[in-house]
Amino acid sequence: MIINRKRLARAKVEKLKQGFSAYAETKEVAELIEKELDHLDLPVFVDRTPIGNWFIPVQPECSNSSNPVKPPCP
């Protein structure tokens, strides 16, 4: 079975947009994900390990005040 790495990277970016973490086993897929993320305003923490890369979306901090920059706390 042939796996399209670009399609795989795009699918992982879509998961990140939904707030889920994504894992890339290969350097090639990780680089494609990073290229896609460069075009988006999506803060992501990248945990690089010897066996792969985890991409973890960073949740914005909440605010108890009427600060328009931070979302309100639940």
pLDDT for residue 11:
96
Q: Which two tokens stand for residue 67?
A: 């600060």
**If DSSP states are collapsed to H, E and C, what string results for 19-43?**
CCCEEECCHHHHHHHHHHHHCCCCC
pTM of the full structure: 0.76
pLDDT tens digits, one per residue of 9-36: 999 999 999 999 999 999 999 999 999 9
Does 68 have pLDDT greater than 80?
Answer: no
41 band by pLDDT with thresholds 50, 70 and 90: confident
